[in-house]
Amino acid sequence: MSNRKIRYVDSRTSGNVGFTHEEIVIIEKQLNINKLSIFRNFLLNAGKKSNVLDNDFKNVQEFIELQEHFRNQIKTENNLKFNLNNICCFHTTKDDLKNKIYYFIETNIDELPTVYYYSNGTVPLTGELRDDRRIKIGVMRLSLDFVEFLNIKTEKQFGASLWVKAKRIFYMILIIPLLPLFILFYGVYYLLSGKYKENYS
């Protein structure tokens, strides 16, 4: 398992609320999440209420009921490649067309899980709203793992962390002195390649 960490930010206007250890035990009995320490960490810190996902479960039972509803929805999908007992929905939202979207991960793996989303809604075939032809959304795989997904959400909501900002400034300090050299080499290449003569002869 990677040692990368989820970034949590508690602001004055909105904070994170996790499930208690007792509630986590209840969730573990219902879901196969024992291998995923990073997901357990999320549940403990922001599983009940997340200020970047807009989750707000009143109690652990609501979270478990979400899993039952999600599994009932996704099991109707043709050629489903997931074991229903090994997936967990951690976030729901609606897209611009009011389709309900379920974000989920696989829970029976030892590495950082990839984020997927599912909807039984439809979108225009060409992406144009005026197109009456529709296509079902189904299951889609994001090119992000669970930690990346949450940290990108956090950066959009609260900005980059001080560590990230410091790294960006450091890279800029390294790159800026090299720009004149790059321009010089490109100019020499431009002249030697004959492009200058072709364009101005």
The DSSP result for 96-115, as a single string, is TT--EEEEEEESS-SSPPEE
- Asked if 95 and 103 count as a contact pair (C-beta separation under 8 A), the reply is no
pTM for the model stands at 0.77
Mean pLDDT of the chain: 85
Looking at per-residue confidence, does 173 or 40 come out higher? 40
Distance separating alpha carbons of residues 16 and 6, to the nearest angstrom: 13
Q: State how far the Cα of 141 lies from the Cα of 104, in Å rounded to an integer.
A: 10
Which helix (H) or strand (E) element contains residue 61?
helix 60-74
Higher-confidence residue of 185 and 164: namely 185
Distances from the Cα of 73 to the Cα of 63, 100, 114, angstroms: 16, 11, 20
What's the pLDDT at 4?
84
The pLDDT assigned to 201 comes to: 44
Q: Which helix (H) or strand (E) holds 131?
A: none
Better-predicted residue by pLDDT, 90 or 177: 90
Q: Which long-range contacts (CB under 8 A, 24 or more apart) does 188-192 make?
A: none
- Residue 161's pLDDT is 54
Q: What are phi and psi of 105, to 5 degrees?
A: -135, 160
Q: Are 116 and 102 in contact (CB under 8 A)?
A: no
* 189 or 195: which leads in pLDDT: 189
Do 134 and 124 form a contact (C-beta atoms < 8 A)? yes
Nearest Cα to 7, choosing from 156, 115, 133, 113? 156
